[in-house]
Structure 1
Amino acid sequence: MTEASARATTVGLTGAQLGPPSRLPAYAPVRPRPFPQVDAAAPPQMRERVARGRLATPLPYGLRSDYDRGAHPLRLPGVVLANDQARVTILPTLGGRVWSFVDLTRGRELLYVPDQLRFAAFGLSDAWFAGGIEWNFGSFGHTTLTTEPMHAAVVPAPDGSGEGVRLWDWERTRDVPFSVDLWLDGPRLMAATRLVNLDPEDKPLYWWTNIAVPETDGTRVLVPATHAWRTDYRGVLSQVPVPQPGGDLGDTDVSRPAASHFAADYFFEVEDQVGRIVTAFEPDGRGFAQTSTAALRGRKLFLWGRGPGGRRWQRHLGGDAGRYAEIQAGVCATQLEHDLLPGGGSISWTECFTGVDLPPEVVAGDYAAASEAVRAAVHEQASPERLEQLHATWLREVAEAEPGESLHVGSGWGRTELTLRGSSAPVGMPFPAAASGARGAGDDGSATLLPLAAGEPVDADPLRPPLPGVSNRWRSAVSALAGRPDAGWWPLFAEAVHAHLDGDAERARDGYRRSLAVTPSAVALRGLALLSDDVDEADDLLRRAFELAPHERRLVTERLEKLVAAGRFTRVLDVEAALPDEIRRHGRTRLLLATALAGLGATDRARAVLDDLEVADLAEGDNATAELWWQVSPGTAVPERLDFRMSRDDPVEAS
């Protein structure tokens, strides 16, 4: 076996163009999720963890909602980790996603890789894409880091097998730096993760590793478990037997994702096991497996189902690459829970991803027997004892080693956050100041707020202002500066944002007005508009905001949404007619136009808009296109391209 090597490269893809993060603060989650109704069988600790840690906003991250549905030629920074048995491709500008994992000994790609890069509003900060292995850190949902850059550098593999790759950055919703070290153990991909809480207070802890695997009519997901916690899009978390949950699912075997009709999550009860696994197999015995050390306690299957929404979403996200399912591993039993990372503490684990093969008759056999056979096969490649030993070696010899050759530069926020604290970086995770010209470096706002972190005034551009931090440390720093005569407009605006998030409307209005008195800005005008109960006042404020920041398409979307909600449909048509062509063509604008036309009774015109409507930034569970179709074409079937229904509770016809 040759030693593994790591190098920077460029990855050529086709897909959507992704715009920069919005500089407009998000005052609520992209997709508000109510707390689930939890089964009476749930233990008290699970209930406690379900009630903990939800994020009220993706701040300080900006929304990534400007993307299209085009098939543009893309050239993305990449990192390749390879030996003579495997080749792994990583996308450091997209959250460190492992985009491809080719097992050269088996001659096949082990992951689901879309044929185009497509986004949808599934992430905590909007844009998310399917495929590969993703590192979900932060809170319930796809991480805010999905489309953010990561630092990447060469590190040694702990088993002496050559070079590995370290990915690291600072996750800002939790204020926790973390790293993921990747290396190859023959044809197997290893990943050792470390989260470090530098602060004295406990932090909510959420981590799930999501693996997209190809799904065919015969795919079978095998996990040694008799029960799972099931949730779908109806807000209930219930304990069910597996592989046949029964109830309204009848005799459906959920170990075969293609057998299910609607989307669902199955969190397998495996916490009492040693060497937990989750696997996916094809009928010919070809499989993929994940296993880990003890800290990753949860294992999960997500299936889209064969209903209209599942089929449509698969094509929306994956193009012509076929269907996929997700097998996952996390720190809690379910994704609805948050554990705690103690103040001054850390947590780490090591995962193994590998191809595995079994006789077809074993894969097709009794679920319990097949799962036990799979466990034995996986442990033969990566036994719990060997993984724990390898993890201990990594912790002792590599985890805190300084990274070598830089392969990509991540955000500058680590340096700014450390300056705010007067702290040093965790050993092995250097956070340099943003360096222009470095591979991956760009303007992320961190350099603008670096003086504030040190107690100095901020020179913020009102056209592209940095988003304010929302932690208590940032609030204290902002308040201290806002009280100074040389504060400038931005600290006053940031104080208003904090009041807005706290629900203190009067204090927020006062802050926005004080900021505007110093320097006009679209962000402060918008803040006032969102707080206004007068639709005409809000409309005028958002109009003025867009005049100041015509690059912020969301200002138009929010303006039209307010008018639609107030029933001002004629006004929607007037505003839409005066918009720049690029914004008029945007799918979200056209959806709001069609909604207004339907509200005016102009069903033919609304249907004409729907005839070629494509909305890039739809979210899971969003039935707006189907419901609008039924409004203008009652009694007719929803065209497949508009049908994203994912739950058996979704309407089946217009009411």
Structure 2
Amino acid sequence: MTQFQLSSITIPVSPVGPENPLPPLRTLPDPRGGLELAAADAEMAAQLAYGHVDSLLPYTFQDGYGREREERELRTAVLDNGVLRAEFLLEYGGRLRSLVHLETGRELLHKPPFLQLANLGLRNAWFAGGVEWNLGTFGHTALACAPIHAARLTRPDGVPVLRMYEWERMRRLVYQLDAWLPPGSPVLLVHVRIVNPFAEDSAVYWWSNAAVPQEEDTRVLAPARQAYHFSYDGRLRRVPVPDWRDTDQSYPGRGGPATDFFYELPRASRPWIAALDAAGAGLVQTSTEQLRGRKHFRWGTTDAGRNWQDWLSGPGRPYTEIQAGLARTQLEHVRLAARSSFAWTEAYGLLHADPALVHGPWSEATDHVAGAIEALLPAATLLAEHDQAVELARAVPEEIVHVGSGWGALERRALAKRRSRALNLTATPFGDETIGRDQQSWLSLVRKGSIPTPAPVLPPSSYTVGPEWRALLEAADKTWFTQFHLGVNLYHAGDREGARVAWERSLECAENAWALRNLAVLEPDPERAADLYARAHALSPRLRPLTIEALHALLAAGRTAQALALIDRLGPKDRWHGRIRLLECRAALDSDDLARARRVLDTGLVVDDLREGEDTLDDLWWDYHERLNPTGAERVRAEHPLPCRYDYSVKQY
């Protein structure tokens, strides 16, 4: 008999901290820019060209965390059928944190003993481990560190179902995950449904990312003979599987740098991917055919790869990822037609296969594993489970067991104002009781046509964007606050001149750091931008994100002395923050104060939100030593190798 219960775990957690109140105006990086697409077919080329979003709005950045961890109780939902025990984190995007095979006690997923945040997500904060559900655009979902709605349902055969759902604000989509464990089932089943309730098509990005333990003999297999590989030289390559560059790439623990491979699965084959150990056992993921893509990501065995894994999981806990997506690569988006949905069913379980065949020639290994998967979960059984899940997916929840954000409820209220019932979805109810502090001001705008105006010294806490919200703001009283938010909406819509006018009107109503900062982002002249940032920072000197942006602006304008003076005035909490110390080192180098730069480098520079792919630590180290010994870059690098503690560069393949 399957059990469903609410529970909790207590582990060391890196707190998310305060969200960055500054609207994310700078354009999201487009990894497709300048990409050489000779290896892409017509379908892939079209999907690579479609759907990229320029802005993270209406989300804000989550960059207020550090490397300090504190014991915290986290709420979970647990499914247990006596064969498997599945544990979901309800406060962190519904992440499947643990999947245990009960007879053997084997944990099938990579499960760090703590939750450490790092800058790998769309909103910055992200953590390793488990299975994450990525909806939005290229990168880890904006909802990775956000609560999710959860409910209980019961299938006609009496099996309990955990439903998790949320409103994805960037794409304006509803998604739900129904998870269940049939009695005696060797696999966890997850039915995913993405709903576009509106009259316009939407671009959809989805990847289910499973982190699994990595040993030297762990082998990742998928039914493919070729894969796509993106490299930092701007090329999309179609490469053979598994042997490429004189290496069997299917063994992530045997060497090589960080990289990923997107497998080209034949259309006629059953989609699956597995990570199996020396004994031929490990996690397998398979799905119905809608979930077409499969990917293998590895951190590699370089110093940089080990440093990232040690940071995220602790020393001696390497992991690799096996992933499944709607498209063949993660740079593509798939078109979801108006008022329609995508739906598929995934399965996760422990696979046992013959180790001699698993670690033999590729074609024999994949054929054997495909047969083992069919024995574990026949395709016909998975399809039958999917058909039942499709029926249940529209059922009304029996009990709400956890509350996510109030943004879905707010959007439903805004739509109702225009006599639209697009978000009145009974399967995923967004009730008024979920509306919280961040939504209250916007609810006032919907109900009364006005929004409370806070003191200009207080930073905005949340944002809404889109034509409907822009119209409401245009009709509201002209205060510094409404004009500020109107400018954000106009900027998001691509009207930069309209945004500038709105922010200047905001300043006419009241001097405020927030409009000044936004005007600085708009300003193409580095000197004027630095002036605007200096004015903004003077009004809010204790907001760390604003301090960091102001320092970047001062350095871009060549005002290194002013940047260093600003740093010297900071309070201890900001003065010794890793990102600010990094900027101090940069300013010291640019002003030829090598002694000050050395003090920073020698005391150990730890940047809590170092970005994957960011090379600033490398650049500082080499720049310092080349200025100290101007004998040529090649010789300096040979004589002063980058210390291991500063090696986080994954740009090697």
Q: TM-score, normalised by structure 2?
A: 0.92
Of 114, 139, 142 in structure 2, the residue corresponding to residue 144 of structure 1 is: 142
Which residue of 2 is the match for residue 199 of structure 1?
Answer: 198
| 1:178 partner amino acid | Y
Which residue of 2 is the match for residue 51 of structure 1?
Answer: 49
Query: Residue 306 of structure 1 aligns to a residue in which SS?
Result: coil
For residues 95 and 44 of structure 2, the distance between their equivalents in structure 1, rounded to whole angstroms, comes to 29
Of 606, 610, 613 in structure 2, the residue corresponding to residue 614 of structure 1 is: 606
Matched, 1:258 2:250: no
For residues 363 and 356 of structure 1, the distance between their equivalents in structure 2, rounded to whole angstroms, comes to 11
| 2:339 partner amino acid | G
Which residue of 1 is the match for residue 322 of structure 2?
Answer: 327
Which residue of 1 is the match for residue 169 of structure 2?
Answer: 172
1:260-301 deviation digits (Å, cap 9, x = unpaired): 422222111115034210000111222110001111011110
For residues 464 and 38 of structure 2, the distance between their equivalents in structure 1, rounded to whole angstroms, comes to 39
| 1:238 partner amino acid | R
| 1:212 partner amino acid | A
Question: 522-531 vs 345-354, which deviates more?
Answer: 522-531
| 2:128 partner amino acid | A
Query: 1:586: how far off?
Result: 1.3
Question: 228-237 vs 52-61, which deviates more?
Answer: 228-237
Q: How many residues align?
A: 631
Pick closer, same or farther for the CA change 1:171–1:218 going to 2, 3 Å.
same
For residues 80 and 542 of structure 1, the distance between their equivalents in structure 2, rounded to whole angstroms, comes to 49
Contact 2:134 2:207 survives alignment (8 Å): yes
For residues 305 and 25 of structure 2, the distance between their equivalents in structure 1, rounded to whole angstroms, comes to 30
Of 86, 90, 102 in structure 2, the residue corresponding to residue 92 of structure 1 is: 90
Matched, 1:641 2:641: no
| 2:570 partner amino acid | L
Which residue of 2 is the match for residue 439 of structure 1?
Answer: none
Query: 1:321: how far off?
Result: 5.1
For residues 266 and 451 of structure 2, the distance between their equivalents in structure 1, rounded to whole angstroms, comes to 49
Pick closer, same or farther for the CA change 1:102–1:275 going to 2, 3 Å.
same
Which residue of 2 is the match for residue 415 of structure 1?
Answer: 409
Query: Residue 418 of structure 1 aligns to a residue in which SS?
Result: helix
For residues 355 and 36 of structure 1, the distance between their equivalents in structure 2, rounded to whole angstroms, comes to 41
Which residue of 2 is the match for residue 451 of structure 1?
Answer: 444
Question: 266-275 vs 58-67, which deviates more?
Answer: 266-275
Contact 2:135 2:141 survives alignment (8 Å): yes
Contact 1:229 1:266 survives alignment (8 Å): yes
Which residue of 1 is the match for residue 278 of structure 2?
Answer: 283
Query: 1:500: how far off?
Result: 3.1
Which residue of 1 is the match for residue 121 of structure 2?
Answer: 123
Which residue of 2 is the match for residue 652 of structure 1?
Answer: none
Query: 1:170: how far off?
Result: 0.3
Which residue of 2 is the match for residue 18 of structure 1?
Answer: 16
**Where does 1:94-493 land on structure 2 (aligned, <5 Å)?**
94-157=92-155, 160-161=158-159, 163-185=160-182, 186-245=185-244, 249=245, 251-320=246-315, 322-396=317-391, 398-422=392-416, 423=421, 424-435=423-434, 443=437, 445-454=438-447, 456-461=449-454, 462=456, 463-479=458-474, 481=475, 484=476, 486-493=477-484
For residues 287 and 75 of structure 2, the distance between their equivalents in structure 1, rounded to whole angstroms, comes to 29
Query: 1:83: how far off?
Result: 3.1
Contact 2:537 2:550 survives alignment (8 Å): no
User: Structure 1 stretches of 5 or more lacking a match?
Assistant: 437-441, 650-655
For residues 56 and 534 of structure 1, the distance between their equivalents in structure 2, rounded to whole angstroms, comes to 22
1:604-647 deviation digits (Å, cap 9, x = unpaired): 32122123111011111101001101111342111111111212
1:410-467 deviation digits (Å, cap 9, x = unpaired): 000101112222224223100012548xxxxx53x22221233446211153524243
Pick closer, same or farther for the CA change 1:545–1:408 going to 2, 3 Å.
farther
Query: 1:214: how far off?
Result: 0.9
For residues 240 and 380 of structure 1, the distance between their equivalents in structure 2, rounded to whole angstroms, comes to 31
Query: 1:212: how far off?
Result: 0.5
Which residue of 2 is the match for residue 626 of structure 1?
Answer: 618
Query: Residue 181 of structure 2 aligns to a residue in which SS?
Result: strand
User: Structure 2 stretches of 5 or more lacking a match?
Assistant: 627-635
1:175-199 deviation digits (Å, cap 9, x = unpaired): 0011011112334211111111110
For residues 446 and 408 of structure 1, the distance between their equivalents in structure 2, rounded to whole angstroms, comes to 18
1:473-492 deviation digits (Å, cap 9, x = unpaired): 3333333x2xx4x3433331
Which residue of 2 is the match for residue 513 of structure 1?
Answer: 504
Which residue of 1 is the match for residue 632 of structure 2?
Answer: none
Q: TM-score, normalised by structure 1?
A: 0.92
Q: Percent identity over the alignment?
A: 37
Query: 1:512: how far off?
Result: 0.8
Contact 1:356 1:377 survives alignment (8 Å): yes
For residues 90 and 136 of structure 2, the distance between their equivalents in structure 1, rounded to whole angstroms, comes to 18
Question: 258-267 vs 552-561, which deviates more?
Answer: 258-267
| 1:182 partner amino acid | A
